[in-house]
Chains A and B, each alone.
Chain A
Amino acid sequence: MALLEVKNLGIEFPMRREVLRALQGVSFSLDAGERLGIVGESGAGKSIAAFAIINLLSKPGRINAGEILFEGRDLTVLDDNAMRDIRGNRISMIFQDPMMTLNPVLTIETQMIEVLKAHREISDNDARKIAVEKLREVAIPSPEDRLKSYPHELSGGQRQRVVIATALLTNPSIIIADEPSTALDVTIQAGIMALMLNLCKSHDMGLILITHDLAVVSQVTERVVVMYAGRVVEEGPTADIVTHPKHPYTRGLIAALPQEGTAGKRLNQIPGSMPTLDAIPDGCAFHPRCPHADDVCRASVPEIVKVGNQFSRCVKATELAEENSL
């Protein structure tokens, strides 16, 4: 049994005039110690899928279908207390912008110790020891001193390391990282990603890594889920998807990556942009931008089908797989 299993998840935002369906029939799973990537354009629904797991959807969002099984228990029906036991304890989350994630008026020490005190009976001193140990693990120099610091006294990269250390305090079985390096300098990004990878390996910790960046995904994750307009369009082992994408959207994403030897040339961006939630086209949501689209694609939402090691939500998945063009 998978450690975490998201089954057929639907999320909606009831707005004044209409109900926006932000996630529809999203399924994916994560084994213990596995590293899963979730990629997709801005607005695809990656973050809300993550927040739904720890039941922290921002208002007025709500889960309207599906279940989220963690160790076999459905998180969507847990009460607040039971959920709080899991949140920040068994499943930790790291946000995008470390400048904003730490409370500006509390010391690092306060913000770390409180996690341990919220989840177990522990003295301040013991909690402090664990905090120092975790700060050391994320390579923060002189951790005892850093505990006394306020967030603004640290650099962006250091803050993200502190956030990671905070997420590690309770030795969670899953860390969800929502674009953990996007807000940082390019030079610092690589360091943060390498750190995350090492920590997951050394602690046998599951990772759900949300990102736009396919390069990062292929370095860090073993499996990847590609999302488009609130649906999973492709899923499979990262190595396979990066080399042999089956869905036209994934192909487009990969073709848009800067390749060696193409410096200075125009990138092959997918034409058009992802539809907003109030204007998702009928049929396959990608069809207006898809070079292979025909009437079948416009008629109904395709099922997700297995093609080799991968799953693709495209009626032409098998057909396209036979072409070896990329």
Chain B
Amino acid sequence: MGPPLWRSHVCSRRITIDYLVFAGQRLLQATLVMFVISLIGFSIQDNLGDPLRELLGQSVSEAEREALRDEMGLNDPFFVQYGRFITNAVQGDLGTSYFFKRPALQVIADKFPATLDLVIGATLIIVLISVPVGVYCAIRPNAWLARAVMGISIVGISIPVFLTAIFSIYLFAVTLGWMPSFGRGEDLVEIFPGWKTGFFTKDGFAHLVLPCVSLSSIMLPLFIRLIRSEMREILESEYVRFAWAKGLAPKRVWFLHALKNTMLPVVTVGGVQIGTMLAYTILTETVFQWPGMGFLFLEAVNRVDTPLIISYIIVVGLIFVVTNTVVDLLYTWVNPTVKITGRGR
């Protein structure tokens, strides 16, 4: 009986000039940030290791070396070199990995699906658990279960990811033997050309469980607490009180009136956190020997594989900037109360 909860008669938003201007500004900002990231990446290349040594070894004379430097443009002024770097980068060329002897971007692209599996898994865990649990804790703040969740979440936040990872390996893989302890397993499914995932096979899925749980272990309690506190505040608001005064069912007040207002800021934070999660994949992948970008990056650092290091930084930076920009554009699009004009930061 009654209307379905999720139907809220929200009409679609129109594209206004204001929105286009805002989107333009936002894209400009994003480009600027990418520019800065590329500059940082390039400075690393400029300062870290001598590419000739990696290429030629020790047996080449100083004169030959100098000739080669000239030929490769390594003696050109900084900005000429940087210009060349950018021009290549925009065309998808971030140099060749010293170790793999293949284009660095390609090496990263090969490892990307593994990391993507991890991030998707962890995000699913976070979304599926934090929303219902956070909402429950907001609605029943005094229930013993809610108190217990709050207590545990504090502990969860303060335990470092690598500890969670090592402990879960010890418990579930070594002691109990329920889960594999490292790698992605053999049984992967190719869902797109070049993108193999472990989600659709039993073996692949089993390999995903522990790493994904570990990766989500920091963000999950944070999100539960964030959702709880946002929602508690909103439950005290006048419009929620008015919703009660209208005689609406509790489900409608909680899951439409309060939750919709709660989720808008939470989604923004979420978008930013996806970027942060990529950083944590380095830890998780190392502990679980997960063949993804993070593990690759750590190996690259050990081997002083400069082009690979730079490519990783730029790729991660790009993902970060893109998710942030998209979330921001969507948030402004979805949230009717955001005043677009004068929002230039």
Contacts and interface: CB of A to CB of B under 8 A. Distances in A.
B239 A102 contact: yes
Given A87-B246, A87-B247, A118-B248, A100 B238 contact: yes
Contact of B247 (A95, A105, A115, A153): A115
A95 B244 contact: no
A297 B50 CA distance: 96
Given A100-B239, A104-B239, A117-B2, A56 B244 contact: yes
A119 interface: yes
B11 interface: yes
B30 interface: no
B242 A101 contact: yes
B257 A106 contact: yes
Contacts of A148: 11
A255 B247 CA distance: 41
A300 interface: no
B249 interface: yes
A100 B238 CA distance: 6
B247 A88 contact: yes
Interface in B45-63: none
Contacts of A95: 238, 241-242, 245
Interface residues of B, number: 29
A113 B246 CA distance: 11
Interface in B18-71: none
Contacts of A121: 1
B10 interface: yes
A83 to B, nearest CB: 8
Interface residues of A, number: 37
A160 interface: no
B335 interface: yes
A35 to B, nearest CB: 20
B175 interface: no
A117 B9 CA distance: 13
Interface in B306-345: 335-337
Contacts of B245: 54, 56, 87-88, 92-93, 95
Contacts of B8: 106-107, 110
A166 interface: yes
B238 A119 contact: no
Interface in B212-263: 237-249, 252, 256-257, 260-261
B337 A150 contact: yes
A74 interface: no
12 contacts: A58-B241, A87-B246, A92-B245, A93-B242, A93-B245, A100-B239, A103-B257, A105-B260, A107-B10, A107-B11, A117-B2, A150-B336
Interface of A: 54, 56, 58, 84-89, 92-93, 95, 97, 100-107, 109-110, 113-115, 117-119, 121, 124, 148, 150, 152-153, 163, 166
